[in-house]
Structure 1
């Protein structure tokens, strides 16, 4: 159980990081 939770947490972190990068790129393009 703990291993599954850890993997799920890492996946969530990675996905969230990618979304934040994507949003930054979109905002940057809008501001140009």
Structure 2
């Protein structure tokens, strides 16, 4: 269970962080 969930959690964290950075850049740009 844990071994199959871990990769998904890592990808989700990276994906969320990327979106957060993009939104921040767009907000600062505007």
The interval holding the TM-score normalised by the smaller chain is 0.7 to 0.9
Normalising to structure 2: TM-score of the pair?
Answer: 0.76
Structure 2 unpaired stretches of 5+ = none
Higher alpha-carbon Rg: 1
Moved over 2 A (4+): 3-6
Partner of 2:3: 5
Normalising to structure 1: TM-score of the pair?
Answer: 0.73
